[in-house]
Amino acid sequence: CRVEYLNYEVLDDRGWDLDDPDLMETAADGGLDREDYGQFWVRPRESLLEAAERHGFAWPFACRGGACANCAIIVLEGDVRTRVDHVLPQEMLDQGFQLSCNGMPVTDELQVVYNVKSMPELEDLLL
Ligand code: FES
């Protein structure tokens, strides 16, 4: 699976909108560092967090076990299946939130915003 990713901190700093359908194009043209925007490949049975780490990126996490939401991402395009999730309520899943620590792609292409733990929605869920 090919993942296109964007750091939420950059989006927030630049005042970009998560709902903008051209968000990833804007990011691609934004002259961002590789750690903030880019693409990588996820291997079979690899989580998004593991794939990010294998590519040398330090995505946030704490428990790695589906209990804290520090690793939360928002899936803009494609689908992710998270095996263990004790923390995200259904309404957040409906909005596209998933956990990168054990979330695995189920589509060939994904667009995700990572590092969303500073979003107000996550505030009460972080351990
Ligand atoms: Fe805690 Fe993913 S790191 S839920």
| 3-state SS, one letter per residue, for the chain | CEEEEEEHHHHHHHCCCCCCCCHHHHHHCCCCCCCCEEEEECCCCCCHHHHHHHCCCCCCCCCCCCCCCCCEEEEEECCEEECCCCCCCHHHHHCCEEECCCEEECCCEEEEEECHHHCHHHCCCCC
pLDDT at residue 62 is higher than 90: yes
pLDDT of residue 126: 81
pLDDT band for 51, please (50, 70, 90 cuts): very high
Q: Which of 47, 48, 59, 71 should be mutated for ligand 1, with most atoms under 8 A from CB?
A: 71
pLDDT of residue 41: 98
User: Would the CB of 60 count as within 6 Å of ligand 1?
Assistant: no
Range 33-48 average pLDDT? 97
Range 31-47 average pLDDT? 97
**Which CATH number among 3.90.1310.10, 3.40.50.2300, 3.40.50.11610, 3.10.20.30 corresponds to the domain 2-122?**
3.10.20.30
pLDDT of residue 31: 96
Range 40-60 average pLDDT? 97
pLDDT of residue 124: 83
Range 74-97 average pLDDT? 96
Does the ipTM exceed 0.85? yes
pLDDT band for 125, please (50, 70, 90 cuts): confident
pLDDT of residue 7: 98
Which protein residue's CA is at the shortest distance from atom 4 of ligand 1? 66
- Give 56 Cα–ligand 1 centroid separation in angstroms: 19
